[in-house]
Structure 1
């Protein structure tokens, strides 16, 4: 049973959740658009629903770890209760992402049951424990049908339990974890953990509102390839993207221009959506991805494409860092280029070629 103090904290967090939900749907003047506009910006292209949602998740990962969007929100929003702005801001950004995914999936985001589903996505793997404590069995998946016969009173109970779980996560003992999870005034920190956290929440929202979509039965756009020719091309492309990730990180900073090019190339690739999300997350890890470049030695076209793209990527922010040059030279020699050939390529290839 919750103590009086815990009950007060849970009530405050529920107020923050309701505030973040309202702001997600209606937007914040001068800061963010209404959810219909925000979500629609990811559905204007030719991609499938699943591809559009994964693009949304990838961009949210990028924004929450590299831009000043979150750090600037604290001075532009009015919070409902005395909860630190960094917590409320982090919840708002994740809530907005989940609500957009639900909207793209065709759900009525003003429906109370959908609202509770959106709240539940914020707690990640804890969702089953919350529903179990609320007397709801969801089986192997979280979906709207799980709450089909739930009363309004039970929905309120579930929402409060989400609030309490977040208080536990971000409370006094969770303050250290919070610092690793959301940006605070003074700069973006804990990029790796933040990316992983955003990715995990986005994945659960995708499973809930897209993959487990119980509004319709049609395919969600999955395509599986099993032929050997595709597998070989797939492996080469993955090695190339692993190398791009390592280059982007080599100078200790990630430029917005680099992210935009990387995102565009990912969208055009045939890598699985899970791998695309993983590659975005690995941009913010300290460890480099392992790449066996020996496979490129007898593949002239792929070797040239790899080096060309690495040079373009390094130059896209108008700063060809010495560490980027050293990285490209190292890769170039491993795939069979001479030092003279690499120097010539670095001199002649421009980012816009």
Structure 2
């Protein structure tokens, strides 16, 4: 990533962090008023709540005119924040549907959301048997976890087709990404609210605790979001090969697809040797080898690859049956739930 792109990425994270600091509290107060005025909302099933918010976020995303890369994401930051607002609202509504509205706090909301992004929420929520223990977060702890979340959201978005090297698929990409992540957050909320929720040390939501956490108590202190350049290049190489296999799934490579290949290879961060391997393999009809076990170790990469595949498959408006079959096979290789894969493919933009 160049210096200018890195600067834009840092700016995105900073703006997300700033906007999200008050978002969890404001959404909580907002939903309290809504539920007080409409008690019947708590009678909705968790699954119907998840479906409604997921579809709504996909619609928001599908209207976005996105240019690739950090500049594009910076331009659609208001839409990203709207999506997150809806995701937090969804978590609250799911909690209410389980009769847990009295224990919902900003810590619970943030713990659910960040846990679903592939990051541990140990600084906020702790599993003890069948009970979820909630830690009261001081301002400094909350700020650090918010920074973690904004970094994770930015990473996930820019690693996917929303990023720089897959032109022409931005709207589909962000729709698929927001739909999938909304469903994952919804599932996380169900898992949390199905259990008993209490406050660590017999505290209550109104208690004002000191910040006695140590580095090992905080998710942010111990998690290294960076990866070595070698690993990043290897993973991107795997992703490119998977995308090429998808495009070749119907057995025919059209001229438009050859141009797409050329643009992708020019913009992807691949070594000369990796590019040579791909060009040589394109001369045969065999699938390029992809070690999905490597990708499966990285939750962000799993999400990004699935978003890439769905976005590329839908870029021309014709979602071929062989493309669907290949995406299902990839999902299985990445240990994804078959229903999640089906739902991601069903997103309409």
Normalising by the residue count of structure 2, what TM-score does the alignment of the two structures yield? 0.41
Q: Which has the higher contact order (CA 8 A, sep 6+)?
A: 2
Larger radius of gyration: 1
